[in-house]
Amino acid sequence: MLPTPSHPAALNNTFDRYASTIFWGFAALHVICWTLLPSIIQLNAPLDTVEGFAWGNEMQWGYYKHPPLQAWLLQFVTHIVGNSGVGHFSLSAITTGISFWAIYRTGRLFTTRMNALIATLLCEGIVYFNFLSPEFNPNVLQLMTWSLSAYAFSNAILRGKLKYWLLLGVFFALGIYAKYSIGLLGLGFFIFIITHQATRNLFASCKPYLAGALFAALSAPHALWLIDHDFLPFTYALSRSEEAKDMLEHLYFPFRFTLTQILDMLPMIALVFMLLNVRLRPPKQTHLRRDLLAYLAFAPLVLSAIISFCTGHKVLDMWGMPYLSFIPLWLIVNAPLDLSIKNLKPFAIAWGFVFIIPLGVFYFSMALAPSYGFKPLRGHFPGTELSRIMHEKWQSATGKPLTYIVGDAWLGGNIALYAPRTYTPDITKRPHVFIDGNAQISPWIDVNDVTQKGALVVWRDNAPKPIFPGKILPNIEEVSVPWQIATKTPPPHIYWTIIPPK
């Protein structure tokens, strides 16, 4: 039982003493809740996760949309729990939990343990850390690599030890393997160093160069892959980014992106207002510490807005997922807060609602929403049943194992991921997905081998038929598989045919 002293100084000392214990309890609660609830009520993996499983089955140094770390981790969990949702949902929850740890540990460089704990708890009021976190994709993964890189950089600047510079090289390399937008954080680091007199002399030290060399060595295999594959992920990113048609859109794109990020953290802002007391003065920070924390909190948002305005490219909202991670810490350190028991009690109650409500909304969206007339989500897709039907159709037509599936990453990925154990005893060796029949974005595919072993070709009724340089049987068939939840929405219609094996 925690003591509850009435004197503010005693209260702060008590919370400082137990801050780490409270943090670990909070982190464990978050990981458990956001692993178990999705695993129980969402029976089909989300889109990005299904796609990641399809990539991970091939274990490349890169993929046409993203670097490989997400796919590698998904393939790793299949060796432990197969295609169970516990695997990929726990990856999301654990990486988010590690992000909390890095934010908490970074906070202790700038303020007390109690304040660092409150700043970390405030992150639960940002939608990226709760409702949008279960879909394990490069954005969620970058929550972890982003916060770890910031933790290492802050320690390297303020403590100067070589081990933190080396950790920065390691974490930044992990960030590159997760998603390239971590380069924006690196740009912020570089600008910070060159604009502060106290840090410019770091270029006369060997530590940043050792960190850079370690980063380059760890990133080299992926860099070579990028060169060999004509920088496919960058081409993909540009293709997804809408380009401004006039000066108004040059202004609108960064404004909209920034406004969306503010809306995504409204619950956190409301919690901070509960602790504000404008009659108090915030604690003073040294010039270096104050600027460093400001760079961690705001540099990514500002740089994104500037780049979007200058290039005219629209920044997708989800790309900002890790950008907000250190704004709660900046608010806690710089805002005049009253952390007396009078404020902390209602704050704790409100925080409990902020923690529970996203869980409730997630439960409603997955377990109840379709029965109230809402459109089914991808988590309701009948991937397991579709895979069973398609494997049986293939087996009855050919009598051979299904090795290749030609289709988009969603349909082909579901059929491969949920392959029945009857036909795929080792779930870590699933059928290969020949994405859209396009060898450029599926470089693991040997077209001659596909011709020899045959392939199942699938597509949706609202999508074009995949292109494959071989003869497709004319007898195109259709299958309708009911959603995994009661709904009035018609079941998805899937068209399929077979390229027969030779």
> How many whole angstroms separate alpha carbon 243 and alpha carbon 261?
20
The answer to whether residues 399 and 481 belong to one domain is yes
User: Containing domain of residue 342, as a range?
Assistant: 8-41+84-365
Residue 347 lies in a domain: yes
Q: What is residue 473's predicted lDDT score, i.e. its pLDDT?
A: 59
Residue 477 lies in a domain: yes
CA neighbours closer than 13 Å in the CB half-sphere of residue 483: 20
The answer to whether residues 430 and 342 belong to one domain is no
**Lowest pLDDT segment from 30-34, 110-114, 166-170:** 110-114
**Lowest pLDDT segment from 47-56, 126-135, 197-206:** 197-206
The answer to whether residues 395 and 325 belong to one domain is no
User: For the residues 5-19, what does the mean pLDDT come to?
Assistant: 66
**Lowest pLDDT segment from 200-214, 399-413, 462-476:** 462-476
Residues with Cβ within 8 Å of residue 149, at least 6 apart in sequence: 168, 171, 172, 175, 182, 185, 186
Exposure letters 148-174 (e unless 16+ CB within 10 A, then b): bbbbbbbbbbbeeeeebbbbbbbbbbb
Domain count, the chain: 2
**Lowest pLDDT segment from 214-223, 304-313, 432-441, 457-466:** 457-466
Residue 60 lies in a domain: no
The answer to whether residues 349 and 404 belong to one domain is no
> How many whole angstroms separate alpha carbon 471 and alpha carbon 463?
20
The answer to whether residues 352 and 421 belong to one domain is no
Q: Are 434 and 412 in contact (CB under 8 A)?
A: yes
Q: What is residue 8's predicted lDDT score, i.e. its pLDDT?
A: 55
The answer to whether residues 340 and 394 belong to one domain is no
**Hey, what are 67's tokens?**
């670097």
The answer to whether residues 165 and 212 belong to one domain is yes
First to last CA, the chain: 72
Q: What is residue 6's predicted lDDT score, i.e. its pLDDT?
A: 45
pLDDT higher than threshold 80 for residue 469: no
Residue 1 lies in a domain: no
Residue 70 lies in a domain: no
pLDDT higher than threshold 80 for residue 351: yes
Residue 68 lies in a domain: no
Q: Are 90 and 35 in contact (CB under 8 A)?
A: yes
pLDDT higher than threshold 80 for residue 174: yes
Residues with Cβ within 8 Å of residue 284, at least 6 apart in sequence: none
Domain boundary among 339, 365, 391: 365
User: For the residues 7-12, what does the mean pLDDT come to?
Assistant: 57
Angle between helices 47-56 and 409-417 (to 10 degrees): 70
**Lowest pLDDT segment from 208-212, 230-234, 414-418:** 230-234
User: For the residues 15-40, what does the mean pLDDT come to?
Assistant: 94
pLDDT higher than threshold 70 for residue 256: yes
The answer to whether residues 154 and 270 belong to one domain is yes
Determine how many CB atoms are found less than 10 A away from the CB of residue 84.
15
pLDDT tens digits for range 360-388: 999 999 999 999 999 999 999 999 999 99
Exposure letters 458-486 (e unless 16+ CB within 10 A, then b): bbeeeeebbebeeebeeeeeebebebbbe
User: For the residues 40-50, what does the mean pLDDT come to?
Assistant: 96
Residue 142 lies in a domain: yes
Share the mean pLDDT of the chain: 92
pLDDT higher than threshold 60 for residue 1: no
| 432-435, strands of its sheet edge to edge | 432-435, 404-407, 455-460, 493-499, 477-480
The answer to whether residues 152 and 224 belong to one domain is yes
> How many whole angstroms separate alpha carbon 451 and alpha carbon 468?
10
The answer to whether residues 275 and 316 belong to one domain is yes
**Hey, what are 476's tokens?**
């195109």
pLDDT tens digits for range 442-461: 999 999 999 999 999 999 87
**Hey, what are 348's tokens?**
């704790």
Residue 178 lies in a domain: yes
The answer to whether residues 342 and 429 belong to one domain is no
User: For the residues 177-188, what does the mean pLDDT come to?
Assistant: 95
Q: What is residue 432's predicted lDDT score, i.e. its pLDDT?
A: 97
The answer to whether residues 310 and 409 belong to one domain is no
pLDDT higher than threshold 80 for residue 166: yes
Q: What is residue 3's predicted lDDT score, i.e. its pLDDT?
A: 42
Q: Are 404 and 71 in contact (CB under 8 A)?
A: no
pLDDT higher than threshold 80 for residue 463: no
How would DSSP label each residue in 233-266?
Answer: HHHHHHHHSPBPSSHHHHHHHHHHHHHHHHHHTH
Domain boundary among 336, 365, 394: 365
| Greater pLDDT, 331 or 241 | 331
Q: Which DSSP category does 367 fall into?
A: I
**Lowest pLDDT segment from 6-10, 29-33, 101-105, 389-393:** 6-10
> How many whole angstroms separate alpha carbon 107 and alpha carbon 167?
18
User: For the residues 245-255, what does the mean pLDDT come to?
Assistant: 92
> How many whole angstroms separate alpha carbon 113 and alpha carbon 21?
11
Q: How far is CA 249 from CA 121, 242, 259, 309, in A?
A: 36, 10, 15, 9
Q: Are 154 and 147 in contact (CB under 8 A)?
A: no
Domain boundary among 331, 365, 399: 365
